[in-house]
Structure 1
Amino acid sequence: MSMTTPPGWYRDPSAPHTERWWDGTAWTEHRRTPEVSQQQLQHHYPQQQQSYAQPQTVPMPARAGSGRAKAVALTTAAAVLVAAIVTGAVVLSRDDGDSEPGARTAPTPTATAPTSSPPSPSESAGDDPAVVVDELNGITLPVLDGWAEPKNVSDTDIVLTTPGTYRCPGDDGLCRHGTVLSRTVTANDEKSPATLARQDISDAADLAYDRDRIDRRPFRGITSHKLVEQGPVAVAGRTGHLVRWRVTTEVGPGGYVQSMAFPSSVGSESMVMVRYVFDAGEDGPPLADMDRITEGIRPVGDEDTSGGVGSSIGPTQ
């Protein structure tokens, strides 16, 4: 029975020297150059100084005309030749021409799952419960006090939530006091973080507080909104832009919505959008957590590069 290949980085079938992101059903446009550690190189190409047959001195016969001496010399030479042939075959079998050490075989939609599954978020972060990993966009986000990795959520873009749920004050359903989403911008080719953030904020507010994806109105709609903050921001060493609204709803306390766009530091450096949705009122998370989470976003594998409001802006695009 065939199995669906899980999402992950695999060798690009159209460019074997690069890796490409497989989302579980199809190839995306995200590509990267595989990083090969010295340990991987040693694993795939071990020291071979003992593999090759060393030249041996064939003893000269005591008597050149002795048939026994000639037989001994020929036998010894034949043994050396056989050893060299066998050793060469072993060495060639170790180095069979793979183009990139450590690269995984490219998946096909009907292929069985690779023997090496993609790492889970906790494995990618070194089993660190204090961060959650967005491997596709190449970032980690801090798990602050009062926040947790998502569980029992239908939106796969959600990377952080406040624990627990409550009954929505409008249409039937369960709501959360806070969520953070991370997704790749694929709707257009716009590369300006400011333009993307301004375009996204209205959709982000509508989905959170007006009408959700299954046409429910958990807060019976937005009655007004107010711009409370916008401007450049450094995110994981990259130049980004944020827009933040305070929205008022027909029922309930309303909340704060923020759209933040910045270029990814991996693959083709596609634009990344991080959305924050915080309920207002006593039960909502502290508004300062938006800035604290932003400041804690880092590239995968780089614990030193951070950013946030008021930080030095990273390289412009």
Structure 2
Amino acid sequence: MSMSPQPGWYPDPHAPHLERWWDGTAWTEHRRTPEVTAPVPTAAGPSGRAKAVAVTSAAVVLVAAIVTGAVVLSQGDDEGTELETGPTYYTEAPPSPTQTQTQTPTPTSSDPSADDPAVVTDELNGITLPLLDGWVRPKHVAEDDVVMTTDGTYDCPGDGGVCRHGLVTSRTITSNDERSPEALAKEDVKEAAENTYDRDTIGRRPYGGLESHEVVKSGPVAVAGRAGYFVRWKVTTAKGPGGYVQSTVFPSRVGTESPVCVRFLFDAGEDGPPLADMDRITKGIRSVDDPAGGGGVGSSVGPEEDLS
């Protein structure tokens, strides 16, 4: 049987050191410091009035415990909000306030962060790259400087081993005195194609060797607000569908502004990632200090002659 306590002052469920007015159906915003009435001792023990006060106090404590245990609190701050239901009398001892579990709201933020699942951060060069659908953070990858890969692996069509349909790497170019993004991109794309589609670092030919290449795109590009250059090759291999290799070079936004090279290595064919992902990722590269900063493939970018 459920009954609602009579209106009165009871210990505040949110602040037990205070009393709060229960109007018979809900808590109000009226609070006060509890009034303490000390019993007057006599030689024969407590007076009848003192006994009455003690009995009344015990009854108030019991009812207050029932109220406190019966009111269901919603999530929120110390003030809280009660449901519009009356308390319930229990046949057993009501739960104590310390036994009532409450949840703390988790703060949210719209600001991008390094933990954002849609962003990969290159702390060394001070940039972030968008993690598009179909791409994952690198796991069990032997290649250096990999920032993302396509999901899953397959058996390489050549000398064996495990291949991936797509890789994106980001590194600082420190072994070259050349500072021109154009010259560095043209030089790096050749190295990237040979290391990926011709012969790997341990001498295997996962695609049976690199047979030929053609330049399909090249030109200026703005990356994270910096003027850069990119070169994209289409390569033909002895085994498998071949692939696309792109080297994008631009000055770093941190430190000595050393050239940064972002490589894209995509298998061709229906199993390879969309070629447009190269442009989408490039356009989405941002500075970690200026996440709203400009970037992206310039309008002048288009097919050009073979630059090899």
Match of 2:118 among 106, 127, 130: 130
- Cross-structure match for 1:193: 181
Partner SS for 2:183: helix
* Cα shift at 1:303: 1.6
- Cross-structure match for 1:5: none
Distance 1:311 1:126 in 2: 30
Cα-to-partner distance string for 1:55-90 (whole Å, 9 max, x where unaligned): xxxxxxxxxxxxxxxxxxxxxxxxxxxxxxxxxxxx
Unaligned runs of 5+ in 2: 1-111, 302-308
Aligned: 1:159 with 2:113: no
Cα-to-partner distance string for 1:279-311 (whole Å, 9 max, x where unaligned): 000000000000000000000132211311126
- Cross-structure match for 1:84: none
* Cα shift at 1:127: 2.0
Is the contact between residue 221 and residue 230 of structure 2 (CA under 8 Å) also seen in structure 1? yes
- Kindly tell me: are residues 208 and 296 of structure 1, through their superposed partners in 2, closer, same or farther at Cα, counting changes over 3 Å? same
Where in structure 2 are the equivalents of 1:9-24 lying within 5 Å? none
- Kindly tell me: are residues 312 and 218 of structure 1, through their superposed partners in 2, closer, same or farther at Cα, counting changes over 3 Å? closer
* Cα shift at 1:312: 9.5
Partner SS for 2:211: strand
Match of 2:213 among 199, 206, 225: 225
Is the contact between residue 185 and residue 248 of structure 2 (CA under 8 Å) also seen in structure 1? yes
- Cross-structure match for 1:278: 266
Cα-to-partner distance string for 1:259-290 (whole Å, 9 max, x where unaligned): 11100001111100111000000000000000
- Cross-structure match for 1:236: 224
* Cα shift at 1:188: 1.2
* Cα shift at 1:189: 1.5
- Structure 1 outlier segments of 4+, above 6 Å: none
Distance 2:237 2:270 in 1: 16
Q: TM-score, normalised by structure 2?
A: 0.60
Is the contact between residue 278 and residue 285 of structure 1 (CA under 8 Å) also seen in structure 2? yes
- Cross-structure match for 1:291: 279
Cα-to-partner distance string for 1:235-260 (whole Å, 9 max, x where unaligned): 00000000000000000000000011
Distance 2:170 2:300 in 1: 22
- Kindly tell me: are residues 130 and 156 of structure 1, through their superposed partners in 2, closer, same or farther at Cα, counting changes over 3 Å? same
Q: TM-score, normalised by structure 1?
A: 0.58
Partner SS for 1:200: helix
Distance 1:275 1:146 in 2: 18
Is the contact between residue 158 and residue 207 of structure 2 (CA under 8 Å) also seen in structure 1? yes
Partner SS for 1:183: strand
Distance 1:311 1:224 in 2: 28
Distance 1:219 1:156 in 2: 19
Unaligned runs of 5+ in 1: 1-123
Match of 1:301 among 282, 289, 308: 289
Distance 1:299 1:234 in 2: 12
Aligned: 1:268 with 2:275: no
Partner SS for 2:297: coil
Is the contact between residue 231 and residue 247 of structure 2 (CA under 8 Å) also seen in structure 1? yes
Distance 1:262 1:126 in 2: 22
Is the contact between residue 234 and residue 311 of structure 1 (CA under 8 Å) also seen in structure 2? no
* Cα shift at 1:155: 2.4
- Cross-structure match for 2:172: 184
Distance 1:308 1:189 in 2: 26
Larger Rg: 2
- Kindly tell me: are residues 156 and 222 of structure 1, through their superposed partners in 2, closer, same or farther at Cα, counting changes over 3 Å? closer
Match of 2:127 among 110, 133, 139: 139
Distance 1:312 1:140 in 2: 24
Aligned identity (percent) is: 66
